[in-house]
């Protein structure tokens, strides 16, 4: 098969980790007989420098015309003084909006070899952590009506939490479909004891669940969910939740995995086009020094193969290669521990290719 991929490498360590991602994908293409055709476009700080804006129309057009989008990271101190709507990070929100990406998938997987890096007690993670947080990405209070007004308590500010039936329905279906390919267990997280928007959310989840009798469904209030994640992390499979709850819980879950340099993510919409990126930022403090961990970006490439192209075996091949390299004791600086062999970004990419 031939796939067209738009590449927004971005700033800081973005281009370094992306280079290794592309090398791994090319090796997979050779091994399984696929061709990946890349179009490199600018987004973030480098686009501001060249075009005066973080997300040029050309970038949006190329991404829309592609089968999938790979993103490195954007941002850096050079652009920190620009006003909010001109900053590099606008490229992320702009692309998600332009591509209609409403589902954010953030897996939190604890590799056996990195168990020591997990801040939880060993007995709590003995059975292995493998959680997929499915977060609604384009609704809720981040996008609701907001403003300021005078009240009898003085000036007040508000951000409205609003969800429509359609918004909840589509994210719930995404979660159930993913659960079907995993351990067939969805945990819905809301706050329906207090919030009207959560009551609507819960009723839609229950309705959608009727179409998935093979998937187990349970519910947690968000405050309880944040406790249960720490007390019994190994019992979760897929978590589905709204934008703000998902923002917080996915960060909490990610901390169990050892380093931000290990965490991939996917943003999906109605069709197969998705955007795949590491969770970390552009890490200006280590950019250009061959110190970055490319695994988060390489695992994002594996997610692209799985979710946009349906290439399960190819994706598993990358995930297994990462596990093998870690089992053999190779580590980048961020996940380094005593007795292990420290390697740079390029060497880590090379080792993963050798182990495909």
| Binding range to ligand NAD, per CB under 6 A, among 141-149, 168-176, 250-258, 292-300 | 292-300
Q: Which of 247, 290, 324, 350 is catalytic?
A: 247
3-state SS, residue 139: coil
Which distant-in-sequence residues (6+ apart) come within 8 Å of 42 by Cβ?
8, 50, 51, 56, 59
CB of 279 to ligand NAD, least distance (A): 7
Min. distance of Cβ 265 from ligand NAD in angstroms? Answer: 9
- Catalytic residue check, 191: yes
Minimum Å gap between C-beta 220 and ligand NAD is 27
Q: Which is nearer to ligand NAD, 5 or 345 (CB)?
A: 345
The answer to whether 280 contacts ligand NAD (rule: CB under 6 A) is yes
Q: Is 247 a catalytic residue?
A: yes
**For residue 231, how many other CB atoms are within 10 A of its CB?**
10
Q: Per rule CB under 6 A, is residue 104 in the interface with ligand NAD? A: no
**Shorter beta-carbon distance to ligand NAD: residue 170 or 280:** 280
Asked if residue 260 binds ligand NAD (CB under 6 A), the reply is yes
CB under 8 Å to 319, separation ≥6 — which residues? 299, 302
CB of 260 to ligand NAD, least distance (A): 5
Contacts of 163 (CB under 8 A, 6+ apart): 136, 139, 140, 197, 200, 201, 242
Of 67-75, 104-112, 202-210, 317-325, the window that binds ligand NAD (rule: CB under 6 A) is: 67-75
Alpha-carbon gap, residue 350 to 356, rounded angstroms:
10
Residue 293 within binding range of ligand NAD, rule CB under 6 A? yes
* 111 makes contact with ligand NAD (CB under 6 A): no
From CA 86, how far away is CA 88, in angstroms rounded? 7
Q: Which two tokens stand for residue 144?
A: 């609701």
The answer to whether residue 89 forms part of the interface with ligand NAD (CB under 6 A) is yes
- Residue ranges of the alpha helices (H) in the chain? 14-32, 45-51, 57-64, 90-98, 165-180, 196-209, 222-231, 243-254, 295-307, 312-327, 345-354
Stretch that binds ligand NAD, among 27-35, 56-64, 280-288, 347-355 (CB under 6 A): 280-288
Provide the edge-to-edge strand list for the sheet that holds 103-109.
35-40, 2-10, 68-73, 274-278, 264-268, 103-109, 130-136, 238-241, 185-190, 216-221
**Can you tell me which of 241, 267, 282, 300 binds ligand NAD, judged by CB under 6 A?**
282
Catalytic residue among 251, 290, 346, 350: 251
In angstroms, rounded to a whole number, what is the distance separating the alpha carbons of residues 321 and 16? Answer: 20
Q: Rg for the chain (alpha carbons), in Å?
A: 20
- When asked if residue 56 is in the footprint of ligand NAD (CB under 6 A), the reply is no
* Residues carrying an active site annotation: 142, 191, 223, 247, 251
**Residues found near ligand NAD in the complex (CB under 6 A):** 13, 17, 73-76, 89, 92, 260-261, 277, 280-286, 292-293, 296, 334
């Amino acid at each position: 098969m031939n796939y067209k991929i738009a590449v927004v490498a971005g700033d800081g360590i973005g281009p370094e980790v992306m280079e290794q991602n592309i090398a791994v994908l090319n090796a997979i293409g050779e091994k399984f007989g696929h061709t990946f055709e890349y179009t490199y476009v600018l987004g973030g700080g480098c686009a501001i420098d060249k075009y005066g804006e973080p997300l040029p129309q050309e970038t949006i057009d190329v991404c829309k015309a592609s089968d999938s989008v790979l993103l490195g990271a954007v941002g850096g101190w050079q652009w920190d003084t620009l006003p909010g709507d001109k900053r590099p990070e606008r490229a992320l929100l702009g692309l998600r909006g332009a591509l209609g990406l409403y589902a954010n998938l953030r897996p939190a997987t604890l590799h056996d070899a990195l168990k020591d890096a997990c801040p939880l007690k060993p007995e709590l993670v003995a059975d292995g952590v493998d959680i997929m947080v499915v977060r609604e990405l384009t609704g809720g209070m981040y996008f609701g009506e907001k403003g300021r007004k005078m009240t009898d308590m003085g000036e007040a500010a508000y951000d409205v939490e609003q969800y429509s039936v359609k918004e909840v329905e589509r994210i719930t279906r995404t979660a159930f479909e993913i659960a079907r390919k995993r351990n067939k267990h969805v945990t819905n997280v809301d706050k329906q004891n207090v919030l009207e928007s959560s009551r609507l959310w819960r009723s839609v989840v229950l309705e959608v669940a009727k179409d998935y009798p093979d998937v187990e469904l349970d519910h947690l209030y968000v405050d309880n969910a944040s406790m249960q994640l720490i007390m019994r992390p190994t019992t979760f499979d897929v978590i589905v939740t709204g934008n703000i709850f998902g923002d917080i819980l996915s960060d909490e879950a990610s901390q169990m995995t050892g380093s931000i340099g290990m965490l991939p993510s996917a943003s999906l919409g109605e069709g197969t086009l998705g955007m795949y990126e590491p969770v970390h930022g552009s890490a200006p403090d280590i950019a250009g020094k061959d110190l970055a961990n490319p695994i988060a970006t390489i695992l994002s490439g594996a997610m692209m193969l799985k979710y946009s192209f349906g290439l399960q075996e190819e994706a598993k091949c990358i995930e297994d290669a990462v596990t093998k390299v870690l089992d053999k004791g190779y580590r980048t600086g961020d996940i380094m521990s005593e007795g292990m062999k420290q390697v740079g970004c390029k060497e880590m990419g090379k080792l993963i290719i050798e182990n495909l």
